[in-house]
Structures are given as structure tokens and as C-alpha cells.
Amino acid sequence: MSHPVPGMNRRGFLQGALAAAALPLVASCGGGSTGDAKELTFWNFYGPNEDGATPQSKRVSGWFTQLAADWNANNDVKVKPHYIPVAEYINGSSLQTAFSAGQGPDIFVVSPGDFMRYYNGGVLQDLTPHLSAEAKADFRPGVLENRMVDGKVYGLPMEIEPLAMFYSVQAFESAGLSEADIPTTWDQLLNVAEKLTTNKRFGLMFETTPGYYQNFTWYPFMWMGGGSAVNGNKSGFDSPATVQALKLWQDVAKRGLGLKKPAGDGGGDVTANMVAGLCAMQQTGIWSVSDLTANAKDFKYGVFPLPTPPNGKGATDMGGWAFVANAKGGNPEAAAKFITWALGSTDQAGVERQRQWNTVIKTNLPPRLSVSKAAEAQGAFATPVLATFANKIAPAGRPEPRYPAEIYQAVSDAIQASQLGGADPAKAAADASAKIDSFLQGYQGAPII
């Protein structure tokens, strides 16, 4: 997952997507049948956004507009970006409904969390024939794997977005806290959150709205204890690591330390929550750095790695969206060529295009090594906050897992039952594990990783 611009928060993004996951995709879906269409539709939630309300959203939209213009200037098959508001793209059903009706876009963007729906539905075009060996080797280790099946690449990532904890310097100071009090353990996190909680402000915020984004933000806490939702062809969810992670999020709610309903676009919207004074600490991602720069440049804040449980290891989830092509679209070959040109070009223009997206227009970690090198040469990670992300947070990162919607739903149900429903975390984990095992018994599709 990922967050592009203020008002499109990552991850207010995927809230509600679980409901849309129930919509079927049929293998015959697609936007055309001739295979030689001269115009390709590119659905996305970035641009061209004619109604961009902020300078940041206009910069993001402009990158997509320029991307299409640069391609169209040199190719007979044209690309036409089609903007869909993020709430509808992610939370709504426009994309799934279009595919089910045989009218899916030629090019679109997906998160790892939604990859399986489209791959198993027969929608995704193989990009490998158009991806050079040099380009493939240029991607960081691990970032292509959850977009690959049987050695073939079905999506190219445009960004990497690790999660961390953000905190308000002013809130810390008003509570008599300093950098020396930054929590490194779960117990310390709860204790500091309690000191930061007042009658007008909560100490901490985790996402509370069910959806892909909430699952994405919860996984690191399960991983820290060595847990996993799936182990091979069986559930791994009924484990001490899962139970303690569910209990942590429940404890935040039970002790009144966290918001029950985030403001704005949800748990990834730092401006509407932490900057607005609703919480003192907020779990969100690297995209919030550019949000703060654009919307609250005078707000003093810091970041730190997600705290760990007893005997646990640090972990974070590495989100990020990818371009994919519709295998049943009007011209799948041209769509694949566009994607590998846009995100896989190894020439100077291609590297600069990616540097601009990841470190000028937004704050991400580039998925490609050459782009990272070019960004570092420009001092992209020299600020204390981004240096923390690059040197202390990202090294503990794991790729966002790709699970079928049924597994996401079971995990989501467990989080919701524990966090706000007051259920026994052990029972919630066991119930979800049984659902996962039942689903896996008859599962046929791409490997679950």
C-alpha cells in the first residue's frame, strides 16, 4: 500500500476495500478484444486531477500528466490517464465493477494486498518480455517477488513506503517528555501514551477502520514476535505472536489511549490527526513526511521505529503501489511496454523520472538501486527524519504480503473483534485461524507469500 498526497492518504485508501473484495473477477474481463487499440486508458487515483485542492496534489497529478505526455510524444499507441478519487478507487467498487463487466482499464495501479484478486482472476499481463535483465536487476531485493508468479513479473512497483511512529514534539514537551523518553518497547509505548493522553488529546493512534490498510499497519506487530498469517499451506495465525499483537491494540483502546475513529482520510492522514492535536503519536508511513512538508511546514515532529515486544525483533511493513496491465485489454502488449518504460527504464531520463516521484514530489524509498543512488547524490535522505527511515526503519522492513481476500477478511475480523469489540484475543486468533485453514484446503491460485 501507499499514500500519494494529502487528501489521498494511503491508507485511508484501503478502508472499505474488503467489502469490494467480494466482487468477482471473471477471466474474460477486459476493455477490448482486438489487441491493437491505439489509445490505452490508465486508471489511477493520482492524476490528472483537475480538482487538486493543494499544491502537493497538483504536483502529484502533474507527474502523471507529464508521464503520459512523454510517452505519447514518441509512440503511436497513446496513453490517457483517467483519474478516480481515491475513496472510490480504493474504497469503492468502480475498478472491480468495470472488470466484471468486461470494461476494465488497460493500465491500472494495485497494492500487493490486492494483487491476488487480479492475478487469480486472469487479469494481469506478463511484463517480463519487455523488462530488460538490467532493469530487473536494478530493483531492490524483495520488491518484485510479491508481484511475480513462476518467475514472471506482473507488476512494477513505483515506490516503497515503510511504516513508523510519528510524534509531536510540542505534545512531548507539554507532558514533560523528551527524546530520552521515546519508547522502544510495547510497555514503554503504552506508558508514554498514557502520559500524553489528556481530556483533549489521545496519546496514540492506530488505525481502527477495518480494511486492507488496517491489516497492513497491524502486520508488523505480529511479525515482531515471529508470527505469520500463513505458514505454507496452513494457517499460522493461532500463535502467541498473533495473540500478543491483538492484545496490544486492544490495550490501547481499553485504556482510552487511542482514537476510536481517526479524522480525515484515516490512520494514514497525519495532518487531520496529529497536526490537528487529536493524538500525540501516530503510526503512519514515510508518505507523511511530504504531507507535513506541504501542509504543516512549521509543525515540529519526529519519527522512531515501531517499538517491540519482549524478546521480539524490530519490523515494519514496506508498502507501495505498482503499475499493472490488463491482459484482456485493448492492447496488452503496448500496455506492458508503457509500464516497463515508465518504471523500468535504465537510461538517465528513466532514473530521473523515478527520482522525482520518490524524493521530490513525494517522500518514498525508491524501489530501484540506481534511483536510490541518484537520490542520495542529491541529498534526498540527509534530513534527520528521512535518514531515520533509510537507516533505522527500512532495514527491518518486510514486503507487504499478498493474501487472497478471504485471508485478509479473517485477519481483519480478528483485529476488529479484539481492538474495539472487546473479544478475547486468543479466541479471536483461533477463530480467524480456523477460517484461514478452511479456505486454504480448497485454494487454487498463485503462491501465497
How far apart are the C-alpha atoms of 5 and 288, rounded to whole Å? 9
Query: Looking at per-residue confidence, does 415 or 23 come out higher?
Result: 415
Q: What is the DSSP letter of 441?
A: H
**What's at 442, amino acid-wise?**
G
- Nearest in space to 195 (alpha carbons), one of 306, 281, 100: 281
How far apart are the C-alpha atoms of 245 and 415, rounded to whole Å? 9
pLDDT digits (tens, 9 = 90+) for 117-141: 999 999 999 999 999 999 999 999 9
The set of residues, in sequence order, having a beta carbon less than 8 Å from that of 180 and lying 6+ positions away, is none
Contact 160, 143 (CB under 8 A): yes
265 — pLDDT class (breaks 50, 70, 90)? confident
**What's at 88, amino acid-wise?**
E
End-to-end CA distance of the chain: 16
Using CA atoms in the order 356, 361, 363, 366, what is the torsion angle rounded to 10 degrees?
-20
- Nearest in space to 312 (alpha carbons), one of 404, 220, 448: 220
How far apart are the C-alpha atoms of 402 and 424, rounded to whole Å? 27
Tell me which of 25-34, 207-216, 274-283, 409-418 is least confident: 25-34
> Regarding the domain delimited by 161-318+402-441, which CATH topology (the fold level of the hierarchy) does it fall under?
D-Maltodextrin-Binding Protein; domain 2 (3.40.190)
Sign of the dihedral through C-alpha 325, 157, 2, 78: negative
- Does the pLDDT of residue 163 top 70, yes or no? yes
- Does the pLDDT of residue 8 top 60, yes or no? no
- Does the pLDDT of residue 308 top 90, yes or no? yes
Specify the pLDDT at position 5: 44
The set of residues, in sequence order, having a beta carbon less than 8 Å from that of 338 and lying 6+ positions away, is 40, 71, 75, 77, 79, 107, 325
Query: Looking at per-residue confidence, does 246 or 15 come out higher?
Result: 246
Contact 244, 191 (CB under 8 A): no
User: Cβ atoms within 10 A of the Cβ of 296, count?
Assistant: 16
How far apart are the C-alpha atoms of 362 and 302, rounded to whole Å? 18
- Does the pLDDT of residue 202 top 70, yes or no? yes
Tell me which of 45-54, 109-118, 133-142, 392-401 is least confident: 45-54
Specify the pLDDT at position 67: 98
What is the residue whose three cell numbers read 492506530?
Answer: 206
Q: Which CATH number fits the domain 10-160+319-398, given the four candidates 3.40.190.10, 1.10.287.130, 3.20.20.210, 3.20.20.10?
A: 3.40.190.10
Q: What is the DSSP letter of 108?
A: E
- Does the pLDDT of residue 10 top 80, yes or no? no
pLDDT cut 90: percent of the chain above it: 81
pTM beyond cutoff 0.85: yes
Specify the pLDDT at position 19: 38
- Give the three-state DSSP class for 425: helix
Specify the pLDDT at position 96: 86
- Give the three-state DSSP class for 39: strand
Q: Average per-residue pLDDT in the chain?
A: 91
- Does the pLDDT of residue 22 top 50, yes or no? no
Specify the pLDDT at position 53: 66
- Does the pLDDT of residue 83 top 60, yes or no? yes
Specify the pLDDT at position 92: 75
Helix (H) or strand (E) holding 305: none
pLDDT digits (tens, 9 = 90+) for 349-372: 999 999 999 999 999 999 999 999
Strands 152-153 and 148-149 turn out to be: antiparallel
Half-sphere exposure of 298 (CA within 13 A, CB side): 0
- 211 beta partners: 15
212 — pLDDT class (breaks 50, 70, 90)? confident
Residues of the chain with CATH 3.40.190.10: 10-160+319-398, 161-318+402-441
pLDDT digits (tens, 9 = 90+) for 309-319: 999 999 999 98
How far apart are the C-alpha atoms of 264 and 87, rounded to whole Å? 12
DSSP labels, 49-89: -TT--SHHHHHHHHHHHHHHHHHHTT-SSEEEEEE--HIII
Specify the pLDDT at position 253: 97
Specify the pLDDT at position 48: 87
Mean pLDDT along residues 406-413: 96
Specify the pLDDT at position 211: 85
Mean pLDDT along residues 376-385: 95
DSSP labels, 171-226: HHHHTT--GGG---BHHHHHHHHHHH--SS-EEEE---S-BHHHHHHHHHHHHHTT
34 — pLDDT class (breaks 50, 70, 90)? low
Helix (H) or strand (E) holding 281: strand 279-285
How far apart are the C-alpha atoms of 42 and 46, rounded to whole Å? 11
pLDDT digits (tens, 9 = 90+) for 153-162: 999 999 999 9
Helix (H) or strand (E) holding 167: strand 161-168
pLDDT cut 70: percent of the chain above it: 92
